[in-house]
Amino acid sequence: MIQVRNLKKTFGPKVAVSGISFEVKKGEVLGFLGPNGAGKSTTMRMVTGFIPPTDGEAIIGGFNIVENPIEAKRLMGYLPENAPSYADMTVLGFLNFAAELRGLSGAAQKSAVGRAVEMCFLENVLHQSVETLSKGYRHRTCFAQSIIHDPEVLILDEPTDGLDPNQKHEVRTLIRKMGETKAIIFSTHILEEVEAVCSRAIIIDRGTIVANGTPAELKCRSVSAGAISLRIASGNAREIASKLDGISSVDRTTIVSESPVAIRVFPRKNVSNNDFARALSEAAFKEQWPLLELHTEEGRLDEVFRNITLPDTKASNK
């Protein structure tokens, strides 16, 4: 549904996005991650046709956003960053306006507005003017606008920004559900969200894609991925660690805490997780450590995120 090829944007001498390509199919939810100023919003603005790209192209459902903007925009719903909306309108008036611009009228318009209101829990504020709404409600109003025409493609720039935990949960559930039938791109700074919602994630840093994969694949790139954590009720952490170091499949160990004893054990290369876990549990059995817990670390997205983007940030600060 969405094909982005070599998209570039420069603002004067400043390069905001330098050659981004990706594709999103129907039934996929693509997460955009990246530090502040990485170019996430700029990319979305080009994909939605708000700003023209300096180079490259974005094709939405077969329509080039620059050459056939109206057809492409018809297929898309867009929640801009900071969720702008007309302050002087009521929520209902605003949604009706959006629906009319989307070409809806009469009964279809009414049911579309009703559906969006229900999905975004706006019943209580329908007749309130947008400027008197709280931030979260304003955000939801703008979100409602983006799904009002049940679009095939959804572009959401930080859709859960400013929402309370319950609403965050609702919106994630909604995105995941809509993602089954739509092509969705959304950006976020909340990494759990990526795991909870996305089928694929892209990490952008300083205008380029630095990682692209499923959340599980990305997590595998974490240093702690594949390590095994042990928790042992009593004993001397150092002694235990040095015993573990003696095992042939162990690469190194780190002591997470002394008491209760918690140790993270990293495998050597090419050791399968099963063999590794077995070796450790056999050692524990032999040494009669009172083992409380043994589990394999999946790796953590925040670790991956920092490893990929932090060196660059530091470098650019110099």
The interface with ligand ATP within residues 246-305 (CB under 6 A) comprises none
Interface stretch with ligand ATP, choices 9-17, 116-124, 143-151, 299-307 (CB under 6 A) = 9-17
* Nearest by Cα to 49 from 67, 36, 27, 61: 67
Is there binding between residue 16 and ligand ATP (CB under 6 A)?
yes
Q: Mark the segment that binds ligand ATP (CB under 6 A) among 8-16, 91-99, 112-120, 148-156.
A: 8-16
Which range binds ligand ATP by CB under 6 A, 40-48, 108-116, 212-220, 239-247?
Answer: 40-48
Report the site for other proteins in 77-136 (rule: CB under 8 A): 78, 80, 82, 84-89, 93, 97-98, 100-103, 129
**Count of beta carbons in the 10 Å neighbourhood of residue 83:** 22
Would you call 238 helix, strand, or coil by DSSP? helix
Three-class secondary structure of residue 231 per DSSP: strand
Distance in Å, CB of 80 to other proteins, minimum: 4
Please report whether residue 79 would count as binding ligand ATP according to CB under 6 A.
Answer: no
Question: What is the 3-class SS of 3-64, one letter each residue?
Answer: EEEEEEEEECCEEEEEEEEEEECCCEEEEEECCCCCCHHHHHHHHCCCCCCCEEEEEECCEE
CB nearer to ligand ATP: give 16 or 178. Answer: 16
- How near is the Cβ of 302 to ligand ATP at its closest, in Å? 15
Piece of the chain touching ligand ATP by CB under 6 A; list 37-45, 65-73, 84-92, 299-307: 37-45
Q: Least distance (Å) from other proteins to the CB of residue 145?
A: 7
From 13, 14, 36, 70, residue interacting with other proteins (rule: CB under 8 A): 70
**Calculated CA dihedral for residues 246, 252, 255, 261, nearest 10 degrees:** -40
Shortest reach from residue 285's CB to ligand ATP, in Å? 49
Please tell me whether residue 41 binds ligand ATP under the rule CB under 6 A: yes
DSSP letter string over 249-290? Answer: TEEEEEEEETTTEEEEEEEPTT--HHHHHHHHHHHHHHHT--
> Considering CB under 5 A, how many residues would be counted as binding Mg ion?
3
Identify whether the C-beta of residue 280 lies closer than 8 Å to the C-beta of residue 261.
no
DSSP secondary structure string for all residues of 98-160: HHHHTT--HHHHHHHHHHHHHHTT-GGGTTSBGGGS-HHHHHHHHHHHHHTT--SEEEEESTT
CB of 156 to ligand ATP, least distance (A): 13
Under rule CB under 8 A, residue 51 binds other proteins: yes
Does residue 76 touch other proteins according to CB under 8 A?
yes
| Alpha-carbon gap, residue 289 to 36, rounded angstroms | 47
The Cα–Cα gap between 57 and 53 comes to 7
Give the whole-angstrom CA distance, residue 62 versus residue 180. Answer: 20
- Binding residues (CB under 6 A) for ligand ATP: these are 11, 14, 16, 34, 36-42, 81
The residues of the shown chain that bind Mg ion, judged by CB under 5 A, are 40-41, 81
Q: Which chain residues interact with other proteins by CB under 8 A?
A: 45, 48-51, 69-71, 73-74, 76, 78, 80, 82, 84-89, 93, 97-98, 100-103, 129, 142, 145
